[in-house]
Structure 1
Amino acid sequence: MNFMQWLNSLDELLFEILSWVIFFPITLWRIIRHPLSMMAYAEAQLALPEDDQYGDALSPPIFLVLSLLLAQALELTLVGTNAIVRSRHGLASLVDDNTSLLLLRLILFGIFPLLMATRLVRKRGVGLDRKALKPPFYAQCYLAAPFALTLGIGGTMMTQPWDRVRIAGLAVMVVALLAYGIVQTRWFAVQLDVPPGRAFIHASFGMVESIVIAMGVAWLFTL
């Protein structure tokens, strides 16, 4: 790669990163307003040529990463260094800076879209492979991102010394769980063409499974 090619690559990278400042709030707002439509959008975009995908929004995985980064930045500002980063015991010793902490959080919250997408593929009765899993996984990343961001904000609020702020933080987390569960129920109902009651069961099992596994993984880093 010669110098001019390197400059052109740098130019494209810089534009892409700076465009996140514009498209992150746009994508977030669209998901909050029309979550099911954006989940369908996430899947439909994968059918387009790679250069044409997600032209007016952030791609789902990038949106999830940036949401976790924003939540972590808020925690770092208001609370300081996370206890896992400070710890040097057991698996926590592998998380020795904010970058590795972000990676851990990405794994934890990535469990939710992965398991939800896996459940959908299995209930459809088709073979579980990357081709079948990728579209619902991308759709679920759009839903997991604001869920993770809201939980992060609520969790940070609960670490503050004021009772009212802690109570408000708990309320934020409860609302996040309820909203996440409601949209998941609607998503399963549409995707599987089943009654709301059955969709609620699928969503509930998926959420419980995801929470248990995520908490189990997180627990290993607190020993």
Structure 2
Amino acid sequence: MNFMQLLQSLDNLLYEVMSWLVFFPITLWRTVSRPLQMMEYADSELKDRPERQYEDTLSPPLFLLLALLVSHSIGLAFGEGVNPIVASKTGLAAYIDSDGKLLLLRLVFFSIVPLMLAAALLIGLRQPVTRERLKPPFYAQCYPAGAFALALGTSVLLMHDGPDRAKLVGGAMLVVTLAAYFSVQVAWFRRYLKRGLLVATGYAAVALVGGMTFSIVFGLLFT
């Protein structure tokens, strides 16, 4: 690679990174205000040519990653301190020795639930769980997962490090976040499975509990 090619690559990288400042809030707002439509959008965009996909938003996995980055940055800005996993030097936690590695670990944690929800949908549709079939529902789930991760991180920060009034706000925000996320999942299963409310609620509950349980067990390996 010559010098001009290097400059061109840096130019493209700079533009891509700076464009996140515009498209992250746009994607977040659309996800919060129209979650089901954004999940359908994530699915439909995968049918376009790669260079035409997600032209006016962030791709779902990138949105989830940036939401976790924003949540992590908010925690650092408000004096969250060194994370116990980073501070620990025992077991698998010894490999997580920086905030960058911690961010990647959180990305894995928050990707497990979307993966379980996507697999549950394919099972409910009686379709084989293959890499090709799993990708669209997983991408769709990354949008609400990103908004959920950001709201969850903010509420937990308020509950642990804020004054009494902030802790109440954080607790209320946590309840609303969990209820909203569960409601979106029920509506998603009901729309795609074309089943009643009770069946959709069952699928959503089992997938969420299974995914969160797996995430907790996985997280315990680093404590």
% identity of equivalent residues: 45
* Structure 1 residue 150, shift from structure 2 partner: 0.6
* Structure 1 residue 161, shift from structure 2 partner: 5.1
Q: Which residue of the partner structure matches residue 211 of structure 2?
A: 210
Q: Which residue of the partner structure matches residue 177 of structure 1?
A: 178
2:27 counterpart of 1:32? no
Q: Which residue of the partner structure matches residue 130 of structure 2?
A: 129
- Aligned mates of 1:177, 1:219 — CA distance in 2: 22
Moved more, 114-123 or 84-93: 84-93
Moved more, 75-84 or 179-188: 75-84
What is the correspondence of 1:6-85 to structure 2 with a 5 Å cutoff?
6-78=6-78, 79-85=80-86
What is the correspondence of 1:107-126 to structure 2 with a 5 Å cutoff?
107-126=108-127
- Aligned mates of 1:217, 1:143 — CA distance in 2: 22
What is the correspondence of 1:129-208 to structure 2 with a 5 Å cutoff?
129-160=130-161, 162-208=163-209
- Aligned mates of 1:175, 1:219 — CA distance in 2: 26
* Matched length: 222
Q: Deviations over 1:99-139 (max 9, x none)?
A: 11101100100001111001111111111111100000000
Which stretches of structure 1, 4 residues or longer, exceed 6 Å deviation after superposition?
none
Secondary structure in 2 matching 1:159: helix
Q: Which residue of the partner structure matches residue 4 of structure 1?
A: 4
- Aligned mates of 1:211, 1:4 — CA distance in 2: 48
- The residue identity in structure 1 corresponding to 2:38 is M
- The residue identity in structure 2 corresponding to 1:132 is R
Query: What's the C-alpha RMSD, in Å, of the aligned pairs?
Result: 1.0
Secondary structure in 1 matching 2:129: coil
Distance of aligned partners of 1:33 and 1:161 in 2 relative to their CA distance in 1, 3 Å threshold: closer
* Structure 1 residue 173, shift from structure 2 partner: 1.5
